Amino acid sequence: GAVVSQHPSWVICKSGTSVKIECRSLDFQATTMFWYRQFPKQSLMLMATSNEGSKATYEQGVEKDKFLINHASLTLSTLTVTSAHPEDSSFYICSARDLGTGITNEKLFFGSGTQLSVL
């Protein structure tokens, strides 16, 4: 099956630094990718929709200048947490839709997540 690779799997950084997380579709092209955030023992909350070649669409309450999204190719989207603070510590998960099979949820694949810890 299709695979979505997310890197790094975990990262520890100092407060005030920026962290970049990559999401790659390994064997399919994805015009649309999604970024979720998950706090401990909570559900996944959609942060933004990443669109190849255009600006990302952010959910209400998510700061676009804080969470920079770049989707420069059909297989790569990046999420940069700028000037990270301890409250940004969370599990970040991406998902990608397999373009070749049309708009069906059975072809929506999730990455393995990135655990961000900000000291």
User: What is the distance between the alpha carbons of residues 117 and 97, in angstroms, rounded to a whole number?
Assistant: 28
Among the residue ranges 13-21, 35-43, 71-79, 80-88, the one whose residues contact other proteins (CB under 8 A): 35-43
Closer residue to other proteins (CB): 45 or 72: 45
Q: Which of 88, 113, 116, 118 binds other proteins (CB under 8 A)?
A: 113
Sheet containing strand 67-73, edge to edge, reads: 4-7, 19-25, 76-81, 67-73
Q: Which of 73, 112, 117, 119 binds other proteins (CB under 8 A)?
A: 112
Structure tokens belonging to residue 14: 């100092």
- Distances from the Cα of 99 to the Cα of 10, 52, 83, 96, 103, angstroms: 28, 12, 33, 9, 8
Among the residue ranges 11-19, 70-78, 82-90, 103-111, the one whose residues contact other proteins (CB under 8 A): 103-111
Q: Which residues bind other proteins (CB under 8 A)?
A: 4, 6, 9, 32, 34, 36, 41-46, 49, 59-61, 91, 93, 95, 97, 103-106, 108, 110-113, 115
